[in-house]
Structure 1
Amino acid sequence: MHLGKSYRLSEFLVWTRRQIYALVICGSIPVILFKFCAMTWLSVPLTIVVLLGTATSFIVGFKNAQTYNRAMEAQDVWTGILGASRRWGQLARDFLREEDTRRDLIYRHLAWLTALRYELRRPRVWESMSRRFNAEYSRHYRVPEWEKGLGEILPNYLSARETERVLGCASAATILLSTQGAFLSELHATGHLNSAFYLELQRALGDFIALQAKAERLKNFPYPRQYATVSALFVRFFCLLFPFGLLHEFDRLNDGVSGFMHGNMIWLAVPCSVAVSWMYTSLEQVGESTENPFEGGANDVPISTMCALIERDLRSMLGETTEDPARETIAL
């Protein structure tokens, strides 16, 4: 997640430059046909274009509001995981006397966090990180899940046997929660955990199951494809039609000017159409990049950093020390 003050205009222009190139072409072709090929019939009444632009702005605004809500919900889910994890460490420290048992509960929880974030980073067909503008910008920050595999990280928290079993399952995060529940039941059955403490830890485990389900819902169910498709089509249709609505408007300006610009005022339709259309395409691009908050984009929820913070806090409860978590931010 970008945690700086703001994006620079130069960053934003570079990120959207391919859209700008296409808009310059779309704006220039109608002017060339109108001026040099005498195709004056190409002009479209500006009223029609304004109506289309109004409808498009409502659709794009609706999409951006929904994608923003998805991002904020994802942030809320992981804030919940952060708080519940600290609570888990506190319960494990206070309810259990054996140091090895405390360590097993906390380290298996850290393994669950690791498995969950790796699961959330797996690409989906509807995500946009494969788009060139996002792939280029990803060079400005790091995503730890792209640098090492899950099999390289889990041995830091689990035994070799348990690591092999977890990696052989379809959902490593789910099997770790199941294993944690079975371990609690074993502690209760052997008398190492009384009933009140057992129920409290099981309730905490149930919270993690619910939070994982919420995160998976945001990951596996995107913004509805029918709305995303309509939004993209309307923006493209507006950007194609808008320059045609400006032809007669700028051509009439020739009557009020003289000198070099007389007869050439129509060329101003190109920068004007590019400027207005760029606002629509940029909003569409921002909405698309915000839609999936775990894919590894610059505006994602910083789950890698949050997991590092949780690990630092939980290990400190065990009396261990860790390095400060690396920030998952764009270098500014």
Structure 2
Amino acid sequence: MTKVAVVQAAPSLFDTPETLHRFEQLLGEATSAGAELIVFPEAFVGGYPKGATFGATVGARSDEGRALFARYRRSAIDIPGPDFDRLRSVVGTHKAHVVVGVIERAGNTLYCASLLFAPDGTVLGHHRKLVPTGAERLIWGQGDASDIAVIHTDLGRIGMAICWENYMPLYRSELYRQGVQLYVAPTVDSRDTWASTMRHIAVEGRCFALSATQYAVRGDYPADFPLPSGDASEDTADAVVIRGGSCVVDPYGALLTGPVFDRKDVLVTDIDMDVLDGAYLDLDVSGHYARPDLFWLATTQSPRRGYQ
């Protein structure tokens, strides 16, 4: 058995030191429970500016919106850089495989990225979200093919898909083709339908699906942050902004834990990797259940980014 955890929590928006403190505390809670793989939500380090317009309309921008974006950009992390090094150090202290969503500052562009760390803090995977969704495209750049990869680890083969990348059938297919066993999905999607998406992916890919969703309240945002009306019904620190929905699913679509809503939580469960052998009996979408004489997938190949 392998013990895994999905963290349902939020950063402190625009306060990276406090966010890194929360990361350390939550990671410690998960490893104290015996978790060997811990998954944090999308944009956990750097934050998800829920509902912000950044003063942009078609053909116009506002000074206030640019000032808000400047605050957001300053809370992102450089890779490599001091905050990145702090993440590596904390992971190395707790000695577990960790996936965490970050907002990455690269040159003059921000990217929504997901990092996979080995127990000694080594970076095993660095994936940038391929297509930011809707208004996210205003603030985040697009990823590329350099990091489309399933990573071999001591726990199994890990692939990462960020939020609505899970609705990209060809991206999922590429992860399946590379033999993903632990399909990791950091997100901020807190709708009831998200767990259904994870269950479908687990069955389709014959893999374990682990999804960590933010649980955020008004107090996780600065007092002057322009939350949209309706997202926080009361202007109180505990008014819910993002309601969670984290879960872990087995290769037959059974929920091993979650979905959990409306509370901060660290969900811990056991997974049995030996289940995978039997699961391939009647479905392998990249093998005996494929029809390469009729359908084929071509994915651009390009060199990965290096690390210092």
- Scaled by the length of structure 2, the TM-score of the pair is 0.24
Choose between structure 1 and 2: higher helix proportion.
1
Higher relative contact order (CA 8 A, sep 6+): 1
Choose between structure 1 and 2: higher strand proportion.
2
Structure number, greater radius of gyration: 1
